[in-house]
Amino acid sequence: MVLIITLFIGQNRTLSGQAMRMEIQIEEVFSVILENRMSFGTIQPNHQWISLQVHDSGAGQIGITAQENVALHIAIDAPAELVLDESNTMPFRLENAYQQDGHTNLQHAIPFRDNNITFQPSGSNLLFDEMDHGQFRLRVDVYFFGQVYAGDVSPGIYSGTIGVRVEYN
């Protein structure tokens, strides 16, 4: 045994090795970012219906960045009332609209019907990847606005949760 070890140590062998570092990047198919929370601000009791328009500073907004050739399906679940406590509520009506291709002119925002919609991020339906094999990502903005009824209500912070589900094909 000692002889075998001596032979290996005594010989002048050069050992060499190779190492390779490999990285792979997986791109997101889509991402969703909250840009602005929806808020009616401070309102007075007995003010009746208060409207928040799509262009008002309190309108909510989420940004969706997606590959251009996916179909996005967005489903919104909104409460019928904003709640302070179990005996103090305010009727609430949510409206939604979206814009494709990164456009920001709110006058051209497309309204949702029944809080559900399916569309592609490219409004022109001219998909870049049919002309060029690169991965193109486009931005879609979804806006939240609506009305709340401030009748004979107690002071306090009324709130509700709007659920947004985004799926893609």
- Domain limits, the chain: 29-168
Closest CA to 52 of 141, 150, 162, 147: 147
Residue 139 makes CB contacts below 8 A (sequence gap 6+) with 63, 64, 65, 101, 102, 121
- Note the pLDDT tens digit of each residue in 16-31: 777 788 887 766 777 8
pLDDT reported for residue 159: 94
Architecture field, domain 29-168? Sandwich (2.60)
Please answer whether residues 167 and 70 qualify as being in contact, where contact means their C-beta atoms are separated by less than 8 angstroms: no
pLDDT band at 13 (very low <50, low <70, confident <90, very high): low
Please answer whether residues 110 and 55 qualify as being in contact, where contact means their C-beta atoms are separated by less than 8 angstroms: no
Q: What is the DSSP letter of 14?
A: P
Which token pair is 137? 């990502």
